[in-house]
Amino acid sequence: MADYPTSFDKEALLACARGELFGPGNAQLPLPPMLMMDRITDISGDGGEHGKGHVTAEFDITPDLWFFECHFPGNPIMPGCLGLDGLWQLTGFNLGWRGWPGRGYALGVGEVKLTGMVRPDRRMLTYRVDFTKAVQTRRLTMGVADGTVHADGEMIYQVKDMKVALSES
């Protein structure tokens, strides 16, 4: 396991997006506006519900976020796919945080349930990723995880079997 902190502020997340945190050719977060979190509050390689690692992060919701203007005019809602992307981003971040080399790629998700919406009056999303498997071999680096998104404490998204891989090619 690499020796990184267990929490990250916005500046550290932006450094990761610029490729400065884990080094060139390794896991990166996207830059804003696609960066779907403001801070990582906790991360581990052996914690979480299954003892295989976890990540917890937060995203501050403000009425001026870019997606509210276009999705949908007169009925602003954060696209559910952006919440899923936030979970994928955190899954890949955890693999880089472990010190595993390669760039991250989302491979899929087994099940997605959207039971609530993010409207401009929400204040904060809390992401939780719990790894069910984290594998690093000569040929494969991959994480499989379940995740949830809570809006102001209410669970609104739940996913099972997210898959993210790291590739050096």
- At residue 90, the pLDDT reads 98
Residue (of 123, 126, 116, 130) closest to 55 by Cα position: 130
pLDDT at 166: 97
Per-residue tokens: 104 = 């991250």
Range list of H helices, the chain: 10-17, 66-70, 80-97
Q: Would you say residue 42 lies in a domain?
A: yes
Residues 6+ apart with CB under 8 A from 94: 43, 45, 53, 54, 55, 129, 131, 134, 143, 145
Active-site entry in 50, 54, 71, 150? 71
Averaged pLDDT for residues 6-23: 98
Residue 71 annotated in active site: yes
Give residue 76's identity as a one-letter amino acid code: P
pLDDT at 111: 98
Distance of CA 25 to the CA centre of its chain: 19
97-151, pLDDT tens digit by residue? 999 999 999 999 999 999 999 999 999 999 999 999 999 998 889 999 999 999 9
- How sure is the predictor about 55, in pLDDT bands with cuts at 50, 70 and 90? very high
pLDDT above 80 (res 1): no
Assigned domain for 122 exists: yes
- We report the CATH number of the domain holding residue 145 as 3.10.129.10
In the chain, where do the E strands start and end?
Answer: 39-44, 54-60, 103-108, 111-114, 124-136, 141-151, 154-167
- Let me know if residue 5 belongs to a domain: no
Q: How many domains does the chain have?
A: 1
Give a yes or no: residue 129 inside a domain: yes
Residue 21 domain-assigned? yes
Please check whether residue 4 lies inside any domain of the structure.
Answer: no
Residue 112's domain comprises 10-167
Distance CA 135, CA 69 (A): 40
| Residue 3 included in any domain | no
